[in-house]
Structure 1
Amino acid sequence: METDASDPDPSHQRNGFVGVLYGEFSDTLNDRVRYSVSLTESALTIQRISASPGRTKVVFNLTDCVGCRAYRGPDSADVGAYFTAYFYPFKRRWMSAGLTRQRVEQCFRVALVQDPLANLLEAERWAHAIRDASVLQAPRRDGVLYTEVRRPCRVMILVNPHSGRRQALQLFTGHVQGMLTEASIPYTLVITEHQNHARELVRKADLSQWDALVIMSGDGLLFEVINGLMDREDWQEAIQTPLGILPGGSGNALAASIHHYSQSPPAWNEELLLSCGFMLCKGLVSSLDLVSIHLASRQRLFSFLSLAWGFVADVDIESEKYRHVGAIRFLMGTLVRLASLRVYQGRLAFLPVKEAPRFPKGTIKTHHPPSTPQHPSLCSSLRCRLAPSTSPNLCNSTNSNHNTITNHTIPTKRPEAQSDGKIGAPLDSLLPGLDQPVPDSWTVVKEEDFVLVLAIYQSHLAEDLWTVPGAMADDGLIHLFYVTAGISRPALLRLFLAMEKGAHLACGCPHLVYEKVKALRLEPITPHGMITVDGEMVEYGPVQAQVHPGLARLICG
């Protein structure tokens, strides 16, 4: 017989039980096996009812629960009803000391009376209570302000089927689709057909239909979505639409960063996808900084990840030919570019963060990141003694080839807005015109020969490149790295290898400089080269940037 939280059972009172629900249900496969089930605000506790002493008890933290559903069984003659709760707790990896989220479901049969409808109503009561409690118990990081995606939420999921190893759609159906069903999240799947397709869609979409926009691809597709939102006349409202990322590309930098911000154990590949899918189902939203970038042609872009020139940009673009091999493309591109290391001439200036301590020029600000387990990587077998910064492995997946059908037509709200220099976009108060000198408060770098310049605003530059151990998605900072000429090829390679563990800032390197800045300007002098924004190649020439703290919203944990 099932009772509620006021159950007078003295054993519960002796144990200090103050619950939400308590009941006794049978096993779905064997009706003779019964369980006592207790639901509190933070946990679901399951104990097999047995005459033997020392009954085993299993406790599931509702922080790990994505949803619960009630339903009738397939047999119409069965008067019972069922409810199943879905959990993704951390468990040991197979043949590894590491932890990763793994799916666990708990299913119970409700047959309190001979009335099928009454049993179904009771199962629904439990499913509703578990869902509500699990939303309140979403994992939160101390010091971060969160809101929640409206429930039930309506999600548009944009998939680039050609990102990474061209497996994004298969990864979605194989790993994410079921989680969304378990979490009762309705979604519309949109398959992008060509470059800038996503930008065009969100620029014209009626965003009132959607509670979140989720990207299943590499970082390049999110770059399109953000700039499509900022193209709109109602950009201030549009950019507040929560954005989610599911890793389906080669680098997956933002996905790796979000996973890192959640303080979860390190994860890669499908484990990272499972983690991001879990955070999407929990639906917590925090702030995301965007960086406004001005090009020489007066075009203005909005970036969420990075601005790169030199070695990093070269590897990212030149490794496109190896896209079919997945994330290893960056390692291959790095080795090729190291074989013929280039030096670029240019001028660099930046506005340092006032609170940051000043260091003598030519030295590096050191940071001692927490130790992290070594993860599987082709680079991990190499031991690194030297540890400075910025790395060749670019986090991004571009949208260069899209040849698929769109599964859904997005209704339009208003005509296409002007994208370049439109009135009303956030004001870049820190930036002079590109044809004007920088203010006296800026720092001008004397060295003019660079191997690379990298401005990054997330913790990771790729799944296996922990570039800024202390970064947060809304720290209001541009983390600026540059490597000057004179560094040897082995030393540069060691920098990138050390970055796998976030150890590159723990040791000094005379050619590496790291600064926290609010704005910057880069003026290439070398006539030919590549500049990338979020891994997408942009016009080559003078460029400047300013951070806008918390301009967008990000689904994270």
Structure 2
Amino acid sequence: MADTDTDTDTARVTDFTASSDAVGQSDSPLLDNDMTLVPEEDVSLTLGSDSLLILDTKTTHAIALYNVLDATCSPQGLRITYAKPASKEDVAVAYLDYSVEAREQPKVEGWVGRLLSLAYGEAQRHKRLKVLISPASGKGTIKSLYTRYAEPILTAARCHIDQEVTQYSGHAREIAAQIDVDSYDAIVCCSGDGLPYEVFNGLAQKPNARQALEKIAVAMIPGGSGNAMAWNLCGTGSVSVAALAIVKGLRTPFDLVSVTQGNTRTLSFLSQSFGIVAEADLGTDDIRWMGAHRFTYGFLKRLLRNTVWPCEVAVKTEIADKQAIKDHYRAYAARGPSLKRESNDLAALGDDSEEGLPPLRYGTVQDKLPPDWEVIPGEQMGNFYAGKMAIMTKDTNFFPASLPHDGLMDLVTIDGTVSRLTSLQMMTSVASGEFFDMPDVHVRKVSAYRLSPRDKEGYISIDGERVPFEPLQAEVHKGLGTVLSKSGHLYEVDGPK
């Protein structure tokens, strides 16, 4: 047995029932006499509940079923294709090869079928992917990184790939607006968070926007400064590991947020910010070469110069108490994956045969403020930050209680008059997981809000993109979008302590 094409022994199915010592799963319901294959006299391949165990006279090792990309049985033999750790942060395609006699092929094919069923579970095999590559993302290396690290993984898993390099800002939006929703399962953005923002809003332009946003999942192979989508849904900033997560990704209903300014309506998937976070993000575009460190630099620079951004704020609060927010998170987590939209989601979104996006429940920023909204103090606002994902960039779990599909945004507000020392402690506490519980950090679960800046100029960010510095209103649409996630349920991050 080896990772080569030189094995010549005949693969055969054995009637051996694997012992608990052999597979390390004494009570696994998945083990029966069809789970072990003996490709040569002293080698056996046994399917466990989470791994393929390879036993021979010299070594014993396991391949995680999550890493199994493909398996085929043909007259040329049995081949198992998998993602093998290649370094601390990357995986690469590897193979196990055995010869198979014609008379044994039907039995081996049955074993292969069981292997693939266990390896993919609820995940769709052979996904049809529209791959969009943004050559300007991050440090401008994503095209070569995709070709070297991601494409081999997707190809080995027999994904159907239609690749296109975006030519200018807004090109991805145009591609998504024109895409045939029946021809693809997902749009994969090789970029930072700007391309997913364009894709969601391009799909929103289609006459059948609700159907398009449901049918085509959006995913990311990280190539930018923040890469929040990849960190939240795949738990990685690695190109190859993210590609594996897309291969095994589960279609997951995902909340999107409508943001209105004047007569303009856009969709947000990540966050909206005003105050020091927006200033630190958008005010550092000229130093993107620094990667994620530019956010820290921008934060510290602005902390020394200005700490208050006055505004008027009104919110539709659903959960205001931090402990109640923790209870909400834990109750959601305990329910387990829900890979299909719920009936109340569909009712709120309306008939997907209707044109365009679902109606706005609370109108736009130009309408009269709903009477049941709470007005919160904004004269001394230091940071206004609303999120639909937990991690904004690596090690910044800013919204630990955020959930993909609860119909709520997590809103953090911080008074700009807190001391600079407290502000610095807040910044360092995000990575340690202590930020949520700090007394000066106000957290709410909200379904909608309105924010009106009082200054004449400044920064407002939607998903890291600069928008006009003018009043905006936001509301959540539960389950409007679809993403590919590793868990199908939660973000790849610890929840609130």
TM, length-normalised to structure 2: 0.80
Pairwise mapping of residues 38-53 of structure 1 onto structure 2 (< 5 A)? 38-39=46-47, 43-48=51-56, 50=57
Moved segments of 4+, more than 6 Å: 10-16, 117-125, 364-368
Check if 1:152 corresponds to 2:152.
no
1:235 Cα deviation after fit: 0.7
Check if 1:108 corresponds to 2:97.
yes
The structure-2 alpha-carbon separation of the partners of 1:325 and 1:358, relative to structure 1 and needing over 3 Å to count, comes to: closer
The structure-2 alpha-carbon separation of the partners of 1:122 and 1:515, relative to structure 1 and needing over 3 Å to count, comes to: same
Q: Would you say the 8 A contact 1:350–1:443 is kept in 2?
A: yes
The structure-2 alpha-carbon separation of the partners of 1:2 and 1:433, relative to structure 1 and needing over 3 Å to count, comes to: closer
The structure-2 alpha-carbon separation of the partners of 1:523 and 1:83, relative to structure 1 and needing over 3 Å to count, comes to: same
- Within 1, Cα distance between the matches of 2:232 and 2:317? 23
Which among 241, 247, 250 is matched to residue 284 of structure 1? 250
Q: Would you say the 8 A contact 1:166–1:324 is kept in 2?
A: no
Which among 37, 41, 47 is matched to residue 23 of structure 1? 37
- Within 1, Cα distance between the matches of 2:268 and 2:355? 19
Q: Would you say the 8 A contact 1:468–1:502 is kept in 2?
A: no
User: Percent of pairs identical after alignment?
Assistant: 26
Alignment match, 1:336 = 301
Q: Would you say the 8 A contact 1:66–1:88 is kept in 2?
A: no
Alignment match, 1:450 = 381
The structure-2 alpha-carbon separation of the partners of 1:358 and 1:107, relative to structure 1 and needing over 3 Å to count, comes to: closer
Alignment match, 1:547 = 476
SS state at 2:283 partner: helix
Q: Would you say the 8 A contact 1:88–1:278 is kept in 2?
A: no
Pairwise mapping of residues 463-482 of structure 1 onto structure 2 (< 5 A)? 463-482=394-413
Alignment match, 1:257 = 232
The structure-2 alpha-carbon separation of the partners of 1:305 and 1:450, relative to structure 1 and needing over 3 Å to count, comes to: same
Alignment match, 2:317 = 352
- Within 2, Cα distance between the matches of 1:465 and 1:13? 41
Alignment match, 1:374 = none
- Within 2, Cα distance between the matches of 1:10 and 1:330? 56
The structure-2 alpha-carbon separation of the partners of 1:88 and 1:237, relative to structure 1 and needing over 3 Å to count, comes to: farther
Structure 1, 487-496 or 163-172: larger mean CA deviation: 487-496
Alignment match, 1:85 = 81
1:41 Cα deviation after fit: 6.7
- Within 1, Cα distance between the matches of 2:134 and 2:261? 27
- Within 2, Cα distance between the matches of 1:426 and 1:10? 55
1:223 maps to amino acid = Y
Q: Would you say the 8 A contact 1:83–1:109 is kept in 2?
A: yes
The structure, 1 or 2, with the larger RCO (C-alpha pairs under 8 Å, 6+ apart) is: 1
Check if 1:134 corresponds to 2:109.
no
Pairwise mapping of residues 156-235 of structure 1 onto structure 2 (< 5 A)? 156-235=130-209
1:554 Cα deviation after fit: 0.8
- Within 1, Cα distance between the matches of 2:481 and 2:363? 24
Alignment match, 1:77 = none
1:283 maps to amino acid = G
1:87 Cα deviation after fit: 4.2
- Within 1, Cα distance between the matches of 2:123 and 2:268? 24
- Within 1, Cα distance between the matches of 2:17 and 2:321? 65
Check if 1:65 corresponds to 2:80.
no
Q: Would you say the 8 A contact 1:19–1:38 is kept in 2?
A: no
Q: Would you say the 8 A contact 1:19–1:41 is kept in 2?
A: no
SS state at 1:344 partner: coil
Q: Would you say the 8 A contact 1:366–1:508 is kept in 2?
A: no
- Within 1, Cα distance between the matches of 2:139 and 2:21? 58
SS state at 2:315 partner: strand
Alignment match, 1:434 = 365
The structure-2 alpha-carbon separation of the partners of 1:278 and 1:122, relative to structure 1 and needing over 3 Å to count, comes to: same
1:67 Cα deviation after fit: 2.3
SS state at 1:24 partner: strand
Alignment match, 1:97 = none
The structure-2 alpha-carbon separation of the partners of 1:323 and 1:64, relative to structure 1 and needing over 3 Å to count, comes to: same
Deviations 1:341-392 (A, max 9, x none): 2422210010000xx2558xxxx99969x9xxxxxxxxxxxxxxxxxxxxxx
Which among 30, 35, 44 is matched to residue 36 of structure 1? 44
- Within 1, Cα distance between the matches of 2:390 and 2:21? 48
Aligned residues: 444
1:490 Cα deviation after fit: 2.9
1:340 maps to amino acid = R
SS state at 1:462 partner: coil
- Within 2, Cα distance between the matches of 1:14 and 1:45? 11
- Within 2, Cα distance between the matches of 1:11 and 1:461? 45
2:317 maps to amino acid = P
SS state at 1:492 partner: helix
The structure-2 alpha-carbon separation of the partners of 1:428 and 1:451, relative to structure 1 and needing over 3 Å to count, comes to: same
Structure in which a larger fraction of residues adopt helix: 2
1:156 Cα deviation after fit: 0.5
Alignment match, 2:439 = 508
Check if 1:306 corresponds to 2:291.
no
1:491 Cα deviation after fit: 2.1
SS state at 1:329 partner: helix
Alignment match, 1:4 = 13
1:508 Cα deviation after fit: 1.5
- Within 2, Cα distance between the matches of 1:366 and 1:474? 15
Deviations 1:434-493 (A, max 9, x none): 344422311101341212211111111112210111211112111111222312333222
Q: Would you say the 8 A contact 2:93–2:152 is kept in 1?
A: no
1:148 Cα deviation after fit: 4.0
1:522 Cα deviation after fit: 0.2
SS state at 1:331 partner: helix
Q: Which runs of 5+ in 1 are unaligned?
A: 27-32, 73-79, 95-99, 137-146, 261-266, 371-421
- Within 2, Cα distance between the matches of 1:10 and 1:82? 21
- Within 2, Cα distance between the matches of 1:224 and 1:10? 53
The structure-2 alpha-carbon separation of the partners of 1:127 and 1:184, relative to structure 1 and needing over 3 Å to count, comes to: farther
Q: Would you say the 8 A contact 2:123–2:250 is kept in 1?
A: yes
- Within 2, Cα distance between the matches of 1:325 and 1:119? 57
- Within 1, Cα distance between the matches of 2:17 and 2:307? 77
- Within 1, Cα distance between the matches of 2:355 and 2:155? 42
Q: Would you say the 8 A contact 1:199–1:227 is kept in 2?
A: yes
Check if 1:425 corresponds to 2:357.
yes
The structure-2 alpha-carbon separation of the partners of 1:23 and 1:148, relative to structure 1 and needing over 3 Å to count, comes to: closer
1:172 Cα deviation after fit: 1.1
1:204 maps to amino acid = Q
